[in-house]
Amino acid sequence: MRVMAVLGSVSAVVALSGLGLSQGRQTLDVHFIDVEGGQSTLVVAPSGESMLIDAGFPVARDADRIASAAAAAGVKQIDYFVNTHLHADHFGAIPELAKRMPIRNFVDHGSLVETGDRSIAAFNAYAAARDKGRHIVAKPGDKVPLKGVDVQVVIAGGEAIAKPLEGGGAANPLCRDWVAQEDDPTEDARSVGTVTRFGLFRMLDLGDLTWNKEHLLACPNNMLGTIDVYVTTRHGINGAGSASLVHAIRPRVAIMNNAARKGASREAWTTVKTSPGLEGLWQLHYSVKRPPSPAPGLHETAESGGPDLNTSEPMIANVEEPEAHTPAYSIQLSARQDGSFVVTNTRNGFRKEYAAPR
């Protein structure tokens, strides 16, 4: 197992008492930031070191929201930026964020595989910021050396780990019902996926990993074992999140990083909601009712959103539809080494404790 070398506000984010600053911190704190259907997740270790998984769109709005979340958490620099893949809704705010705080290490799968002019322009802006830090190309089995936390890369560049994680490796009977989809040639299929472990607590984030590629982690054997918190893949869009993976890892909680009109597609949302042992589904946005999208790769066949296809209102961070809404609320999580954790909605203060496994 290769270990990566350790290298030498317009939007309001509510800081709640359960998430302390780095001084005396004993929990792993995770901030799921609203970037309107992109992704940005700030992970703060008890040591005070920070890891930012993705950084939203190339707009000042998202850089401001991330910087506000970091300030509320007592974070003055990003020690590790983990870019799941080279799409602008996942790294776009990095050039602006780098003007607001230092970013020390950049972890991604390497080079851009798409050739469109807009993709290249966005990547070049990101790469210019990346060149000012230390660049680490992630490989399956690598670890991001966030002090006091075990962060393992389980898939990157289309290749998955060959050895199962502790607790993984069992044959997966759900594989018999899995049907392949057309291969996706985009950056999504090269997503860097990580399992973050703090004591007995485990969180899975696969970025926008595609249906066929996530299959490498689920079949014929479940390489991951069980997971406490599942950050829904591709924002809860179809084309990822098959039952053969989601139901096999048996998440206790799912965090859906959707927008009002992106993600939380009917089929993907239902797969998560019906996962065995699920104790809570939290969403960054209320998903408005809408017809199936004709966009390629979404695999939508029915209406999504609306009253029957959202979690309960107290567990939805943002209920406003306009993307410029202020304040922008987050979902926050605080995990303990015994595997217990609490999730809080900063919009309304609603919080739920999840007990340590017996």
pLDDT tens digits along 97-124: 999 999 999 999 999 999 999 999 999 9
Q: Quick check: 200 and 221 in contact, CB under 8 A?
A: no
Task: Give me the percent of the chain exceeding a pLDDT of 90.
Answer: 87
**Domains along the chain with CATH numbers:** 28-350 (3.60.15.10)
The pLDDT value recorded for residue 23 is 56
Q: Quick check: 240 and 233 in contact, CB under 8 A?
A: yes
Residue 16: pLDDT above 70? no
pLDDT tens digits along 298-333: 778 889 999 999 999 999 999 988 887 889 999 999
Residue 9: pLDDT above 60? no
Q: Is the dihedral of CA 132, 45, 166, 278 positive or negative?
A: negative
Cis peptide before 251 (omega within 30 of 0): no
Q: Residue-wise over 154-192: b if at least 16 C-beta within 10 A, else e?
A: bbbbbebbeebbeebeeebebbeebeebeebebbbbbbb
Summarize the confidence of residues 292-299 as an average pLDDT.
77
Residue 294: pLDDT above 90? no
Residue 8: pLDDT above 70? no
Quote the pTM value: 0.93
